Structure 1
Amino acid sequence: MKKYKGLLIDLDGTMYRGNEAIKEAPFFVEECRKQGIPYVFLTNNSSRQPLQVADKLNGMGIHALPEQVYTSSMAAAAYIQRTFPEPDVFMIGEEGLESALLAGGATLTEENADVVVVGIDRELSYDKLRKAALNIQNGAVFVSTNKDRAIPTEEGMLPGNGAITEAIALTTGISPVYVGKPEALIVEEALEVLGVSKEEALLVGDNYETDISAGIHAGVDTLMVETGATSFEDLNEVASQPTYKVKKLDEWTFS
């Protein structure tokens, strides 16, 4: 087994379920700290700012600093900044996406946008969809934070950002650039924050379709934990397997 120099760690299903920490998660992160292994929490959640994510984790006994959180909003903002140094952006999304875009030098606009970027928006309106579609038809680049079509909640499955994005794609006939998991782009961006190469990193997650696939696409070794979305039985149906798998995080050894 390789000795990894940095970890990319998923949140929902790996560190917590809803507002409750997974029992082994605090121990796992504390072991990283004891052994001096840097880690970054990697999430498709575009609605929250890093400080908010870190506060939630710390409240569960999982040590986290804001600079140890990398979101799909941050990946989208970084991608847009590379494409347009000072872009005019029409945004569908919440405060996490807005703050990332503004920090990346974007100017938010309603029309004549260079880029339309879409994240989860729980105050979505027809007018926002209309403006997004018109800006894209007028030549704006179409970017989406992630393709998660549904979000698991205590009430049941609710529409996710992928559902919002798909409505705009169906309207315009244009497919977006996705930046969140399972795309390699978010992993590559997070590795820069982590400061290690892909050969030195391990991506830890519970969801084969997002977490593990993102690692596979980026050429990063993966550790799947059976505490969330994907069971070991589900892996019988996939060709590319995770590098490692454990039922619970306390079964993993760092040596």
Structure 2
Amino acid sequence: MKKYQGYLIDLDGTMYRGKVKIPAAKRFIERLQEKQVPFLFVTNNSTQLPEAVVANLADNFEIHVKPENVYTSGLATADYLADLDPNKRTVYVIGELGLKQAFLDQGFRFEEKNPDYAVVGLDYDVTYHKFELATLAIKRGAKFIGTNADTNLPNERGLVPGAGSVIALVECSTQQKATYIGKPETIIMEKALKKIGLKKDQVIMVGDNYQTDIKAGINFGIDTLLVYTGVSTKEQVAKQPIQPTFQIDSLDQWEV
């Protein structure tokens, strides 16, 4: 079996299931660390800072990594816009700290009325006024960006609205489609590959969700590993026209 020089890895459903530990995931990361194989957690969650993701992994799942091992859709969004045009540095953001801090770290300035970009992500305190500001900014010419298209998020209460649901409201009010950054789009994959410093044929995308993780790898043209510990089932995946490169029941089955 091919030895990969780097791993792009999903979090929820792959490293853990909500608040439930996946013991094989901890062992998998420890094998990567032992063999000094680079890895990057690629997550559609734009709300959290990498430090918060690291703390959650350590405190709740005994998986010990560093902030530089985490790449969120918030970071990818800021990286993407920073590379688009060095002269456009103003942004209006609907989102949480993780997204806003990513823009501050890239030297962007927040602007409500005439920003270069209107970025919409998951915001737990979203209001009509925030939607109004985003809508008016886009109508005035701001480029419309969505962090990711996930319509729902699983939590202990069930499937709650995700970033895609928030973005859809602004799409409706502006009659414009957002440019999406997160999985299964290729933008987040391009930026993640740049961050890990490897080539496409050297990395593999690992995840539990065919529609996001595996499609992201397929769309980007890299190998994929689907692990059946989360969202997708074997019956669902069998119906897909393009199959993952590899499929396993547990990360314990995978040799690094």
Deviations 1:177-234, CA, capped at 9 Å, x for gaps = 1000000111111111111111100110000000000000111100000000001111
* Aligned pairs for 1:224-235 within 5 A: 224-235=226-237
Distance in 2 separating the partners of 1:209 and 1:242: 11
Amino acid at match of 2:121: G
Q: CA deviation at 1:56?
A: 1.0
| Paired residue type of 2:192 | A
2:16 corresponds in structure 1 to: 16
In the TM superposition, structure 1's runs of 4+ consecutive aligned residues that sit over 3 Å from their partners are: none
Task: Please list the CA deviations of residues 121-155 of structure 1 after superposition, one character each: whole Å capped at 9, or x if unmatched.
Answer: 00000000011000000000000110000111111
Q: Secondary structure at the match of 1:188?
A: helix
Unaligned runs of 5+ in 2: none
- The whole-number CA distance in structure 1 between the counterparts of 2:13 and 2:212 is 12
Aligned-pair identity in percent equals 44
Instruction: Output aligned runs, 1:47-126, within 5 Å.
Output: 47-59=47-59, 60-85=61-86, 86-126=88-128
Q: What TM-score does the superposition give when structure 2 sets the normalisation length?
A: 0.97
Cα distance in 1 for residues equivalent to 2:194 and 2:127: 36
Unmatched 5+ residue regions in structure 1?
none
Per the alignment, residue 184 of structure 1 pairs with: 186
> 2:120 is matched by which residue type in structure 1?
V
**Amino acid aligned to 1:51:** E
- Report the TM-score when normalising by structure 1: 0.98
Partner of 1:155: 157
Distance between the aligned counterparts of 2:85 and 2:94, measured in 1?
18
Secondary structure of residue in 1 paired with 2:62: coil
Among candidates 173, 176, 183, match of residue 175 of structure 2: 173
Alignment-derived partner of residue 248 in structure 1: 250
Cα RMSD between the aligned structures?
0.9
Q: How far does residue 35 in structure 1 lie from its aligned partner after superposition?
A: 1.5
| Residue equivalent to 2:143 | 141
Deviations 1:75-120 (A, max 9, x none): 1001111123241100000000010011111101111111000110
The count of aligned residue pairs is 254
d(CA) in 1 for partners of 2:29 and 2:157?
A: 30
